[in-house]
Structure 1
């Protein structure tokens, strides 16, 4: 797994996503699913800079955040002094106490680029859930996203945060038709007084999935699907799955 959003990329990510995502709506979406399944204790995988953590903390819920980026966790801890964050890998982690709700948010499943990654992740989640626990996660729909990238070779996004205009130009190149992997290159810049300043370049190898693929991965790892939601996010057509241990 690549070393995601370390250094100054963590702060750039945080600034841009304040505009891309309505975190109050995001919290309400996930918390509704948690409450529907009587969830009390929560682990968020891909907790990032702690924007959802802030909402869980404000509502006095028992929450833990896990992320692969130390830089993102540093921002999250500054934002949420009373929250517990773990630097860890979703493919291999062990909590001190099992939880009854595990979330994988922000399409973090995209960084599981081979079948071993996916199976190891679901195995780790299974081991860290209580007997009636649930997992809730989103993933990018390959059937819609790959054609979109073919038709739009450069995808542009703009965000304004604290008076600064941020821009991102993304290019997606399909590298494997076998398991739907793409190379994502992105250039981040700001514009001030009509002057463009490049602030970062980024590169990642990511994977998108079909719904049938993900259903089979869950079945093979001992999960039963409770609900499947077709959900449009700011840039991607995604599915959200709620599943429980069989």
Structure 2
């Protein structure tokens, strides 16, 4: 589940780069609109990271909880959001003190559910921690569009500037011969110093992308009814966002 990027000082590099990659005001409005459609009061964000969405939820007086696998990310999030509560935990197996009205998995964190058991365990944990008729919202990378994209683009470059520092991420993706749509993702993170690239981190992860049909079946088998499917463009890759309701 974890990789180098989310630990130690590199959590701060992640935070800096994604401040540029993602419009967090827009991201908050997107999720808040879905949550308010169903008049949800309490919300848990899985993959809360360094607390950028938490900041918006806190500013708008939501009953918000964050959960993340990385303690380093939580430390940054807690410093940024003194009045919010963050839980160090695993989305595959967590128990809240009190169930919530809505659970969202953000930032394509579903990519780290690399086998079917991971997905089922996560969906079961989400189900158990939702109130009756609770809402489940999550995004995932669309395998049908992403795999052709990486076969045509051997190196994917992302550039970001934050607080006067220029960052570059060079990503390389390789499909792996497994039963699921698994990918080996290697990435080099640099900052620009005197017009030269200075390496910050050489990172490696194994991740999974999904078809829409796969996710529909996982939800059906875990007692969720799909309310809507949103085809959403993001900063790097085409994703789907699914909004589903807990079935009693």
State whether residues 102 and 134 of structure 1, in contact with CA within 8 Å, keep that contact through their aligned partners in structure 2: yes
In 2, Cα distance between the equivalents of 1:196 and 1:98? Answer: 47
Secondary structure of the residue aligned to 1:122 is helix
State whether residues 176 and 182 of structure 1, in contact with CA within 8 Å, keep that contact through their aligned partners in structure 2: no
State whether residues 2 and 69 of structure 2, in contact with CA within 8 Å, keep that contact through their aligned partners in structure 1: no
In 2, Cα distance between the equivalents of 1:112 and 1:135? Answer: 16
**Shift of residue 107 of structure 1?**
0.0
List gaps (5 residues or longer) in structure 2: none
TM norm structure 1 = 0.99
**Shift of residue 231 of structure 1?**
0.1
**Shift of residue 37 of structure 1?**
1.0
> Residue 140 of structure 1 corresponds to which residue in structure 2?
141
TM norm structure 2 = 0.98
**Shift of residue 177 of structure 1?**
5.2
> Residue 53 of structure 1 corresponds to which residue in structure 2?
54
> Residue 116 of structure 1 corresponds to which residue in structure 2?
117
CA offset digits 1:115-158 (Å, max 9, x no partner): 00000000000000000101000000000000000000100000
> Residue 201 of structure 1 corresponds to which residue in structure 2?
202
**Shift of residue 192 of structure 1?**
2.1
State whether residues 138 and 241 of structure 2, in contact with CA within 8 Å, keep that contact through their aligned partners in structure 1: yes
**Residues 21-170 of structure 1: pairs in structure 2 closer than 5 A:** 21-170=22-171
**Shift of residue 163 of structure 1?**
0.2
**Shift of residue 195 of structure 1?**
2.0
CA offset digits 1:174-217 (Å, max 9, x no partner): 00352100000000001122122101111100000000000000
**Shift of residue 2 of structure 1?**
2.7
In 1, Cα distance between the equivalents of 2:119 and 2:197? Answer: 40
Secondary structure of the residue aligned to 1:10 is helix
Secondary structure of the residue aligned to 1:176 is coil
> Residue 186 of structure 1 corresponds to which residue in structure 2?
187
Deviates more, 1:113-122 or 1:177-186: 177-186
List gaps (5 residues or longer) in structure 1: none
Deviates more, 1:17-26 or 1:184-193: 184-193
